[in-house]
Structure 1
Amino acid sequence: MNASLNEDDLSLLAALREARPGFVSGEDLADRLGVSRVSIKSRLDKLKAEGFAIEAVRKQGYSLTAEPEALHPLLLELELRALGAGVDWILLDECASTNDEAMRRLTDGAPCPLVVMSRKQSAGRGRLGRRWHSDDAGNLMLSFGVRPDKPPAFMQRFTVWVGLRLAARLSEFSSVAVKAKWPNDLLINGRKLAGILTEARLDADRMRELILGLGLNINSAVDTWPVEVRSIATSLASASGRAFSMSQVTALVLAELVNAYTDYQNGAIDTEMECLWGEFSAINQQPVTITTYDGEIEGEVVGIDTTSALQLRLANGEIKTFAAGDVSLSGNY
């Protein structure tokens, strides 16, 4: 959890949420927290100032009628506990890059897994040096940091694995078809919903720290984005026609990252990986163009190998494997 959170504040909010849509008396709240009624009133006023709608009715008590859509630390922690996800997390108002901040903290000895989130990034980045548009309050910017003590090949397969796991989880949660585009994007109807950037610090042939950065568009209003972004990107809210609780979606994503990493570390994932690829890949069995340092190559995607390298069938029938590259759907094959 976030060490700065107050357990009494968490207990108060939990009691209000448990009582919904009913009321909980001030006396019961005071007894639960072991504080005075005056203290309860002060804490409730603080929650109201932070965007919680709380109705007070004489002789009935208090009822929580609405929660802020924006990411809120107390809500995030309660959602994480409901999911059984234990992870240390930090929420910053602004930073240059959550990947850089997570790497700095892990290098300095912070416990892991560690999640660093920021409401705004001034130097967010994606693969190949691309800038990630990251100054919208409806976007989630986070970095998940671990110390895997694995060879560098671990990084690529983990990136693909996480993308497929998140596509499945977000599809289930939002009822919108989210697809993973190898190696590191999430799409809805061909438009970019999220990007993943995985980086590592190496010691000889082992990774000391591994940072997986994620930029996810949740409640962003597409029509407010820069013109060059609007035609190629989307958000969960724009695709589904409804807004989401940022805290709930963030907790879901953090829990999935923790579970995906644990599953990846603890056992064979080949069977599940194959199933997820078949259902949630945006490019499987599709004609694509892959751009590598050697130029552009067209082919039909036939799958991924055991390292998660992409396999293409070329026009001459040859199967060629690519460990890296930039992929786009192609109608010319």
Structure 2
Amino acid sequence: MTDGKPKTKDRVLADLLAQPGQYLSGDQLAADLAISRESVWKAVKSLQKDGHRIVSKKKTGYAYLSSDHVDEQVVDAYLEQLSAGQQGFDTIQVFDDIGSTQTYAKDYLAVHPAANPAIFTARTMGAGYGRRGRAFFAPKDKGLYVSLSLPINPDKAVVASLLTTSAASVIAQVLEETFDGLDVSLKWVNDLIVKGHKVGGIITEAVFDMETQQYNALVLGFFVNVLPADYPAEIEQKAMAVLDDPKQLVDWNFLLAQLILALVKMNEDYQDGHYLADYRKRSFLIGQEVSLQVGSDLLVGTVTGISDQAGLELRLTNGEKKILYAGEVTKVKLHENLNL
């Protein structure tokens, strides 16, 4: 939000957000904010034009339902409500358009180390990237594109493999709890899969402090394709959205708040590996023959499991057994469209 005195429409929105889904009369809003009923009406019209779904009922008032886009004020209010005010954030920044939230987050945190988590998200991105620097398509208001900084606890080890797989499990759980009938599986190490197509991905990076010669933050980047879009030709057979109906209403800010709080909680205790049981259950690679690119080497074998450190357990065609913590599954015998 901008500095200085809040706009009238932002004050009206804040009042409505205090009780989302509940009606507040125009008289009550006017009294709360010491403005006229006409000012309330104008503010509501402006908010509706901005994409906030606010309904009105004669002799009852106005109620906030949701927004058609990620909004800083709304997600901040939901984070406050869902955490009962117990979870603080150093900054919450929402961009209409940006090159990459991940790049921005790392640059920002290098100058502004965060004691609490920090959120960087955008309605669209022009230069988003995933693992191995691969670019991805981020159509406006069709998905969530997020970078979340997670402070490093000096008393706990950072286990990158467990962090990424635990985050994948948590995101899958929240999506299934949000959308009825959804079934999310996982492709090692970081891809979210629905009906054999990729709907999201995760990247974990660290911010290094040159002065202290230590890492001062982790940046967990993730995207989720929520609504269908016109995907570029090179990925249209591989990518998909969580929902089939492009007109389905999505409570973007409530979903984002749920994901953020679940990931922040996950960061507190993922090191003990207790998210692995769910990750293994969701992994469709176990028991499958795969091709795995590791550097310049192409390995072919059968996935026998996920190790306690989230490595891929592979039995090569010559019988040799390996546990891999790096590499990319480029082909699965039953899912040849997953080369993303």
> How many residue pairs are counted as aligned between the two chains?
320
Q: Which structure 2 residues correspond to residues 5-24 of structure 1 after superposition, within 5 A?
A: 8-14=11-17, 17-19=20-22, 23-24=23-24
- The answer as to whether partners of 2:21 and 2:63 remain within 8 angstroms in 1 is no
What's the counterpart of residue 250 of structure 2? 244
- The answer as to whether partners of 1:95 and 1:121 remain within 8 angstroms in 2 is yes
Paired amino acid for 1:131? A
Write the distance in 2 (CA, Å) between the matches of 1:237 and 1:77.
25
What's the counterpart of residue 106 of structure 1? 109
- Closer, same or farther: CA 274–139 of 1 in aligned 2, 3 Å: closer
TM-score by length of 2: 0.82
What's the counterpart of residue 55 of structure 1? 56
Write the distance in 1 (CA, Å) between the matches of 2:205 and 2:66.
35
Write the distance in 2 (CA, Å) between the matches of 1:239 and 1:286.
32
2:78 is equivalent to residue 79 of structure 1: yes
Q: Which runs of 5+ in 2 are unaligned?
A: 335-340
Match of 1:231 among 237, 251, 259: 237
Write the distance in 2 (CA, Å) between the matches of 1:121 and 1:152.
32
Q: Deviations over 1:53-72 (max 9, x none)?
A: 43252xx1423385433223
- Closer, same or farther: CA 65–158 of 1 in aligned 2, 3 Å: closer
What's the counterpart of residue 37 of structure 2? 37
Q: Deviations over 1:177-233 (max 9, x none)?
A: 112211111111221111112222345884223211112111132xx1112211001
Write the distance in 2 (CA, Å) between the matches of 1:325 and 1:239.
35
Write the distance in 2 (CA, Å) between the matches of 1:147 and 1:11.
29
- The answer as to whether partners of 1:187 and 1:282 remain within 8 angstroms in 2 is no
What is the root-mean-square deviation of aligned Cα atoms in Å? 2.9
What's the counterpart of residue 292 of structure 2? 290
What's the counterpart of residue 173 of structure 1? 178
Write the distance in 2 (CA, Å) between the matches of 1:134 and 1:27.
42
2:136 is equivalent to residue 128 of structure 1: no
Tell me how far 1:236 sits from its aligned partner.
1.2
- The answer as to whether partners of 1:176 and 1:239 remain within 8 angstroms in 2 is no
SS at match of 2:159: helix
Q: Which runs of 5+ in 1 are unaligned?
A: none
What's the counterpart of residue 218 of structure 1? 226
Write the distance in 1 (CA, Å) between the matches of 2:134 and 2:202.
12
Write the distance in 2 (CA, Å) between the matches of 1:18 and 1:56.
12
Tell me how far 1:3 sits from its aligned partner.
7.6
Q: Structure 1 or 2: larger helix share?
A: 1
- The answer as to whether partners of 1:149 and 1:207 remain within 8 angstroms in 2 is no
Paired amino acid for 2:126? S
TM-score by length of 1: 0.84
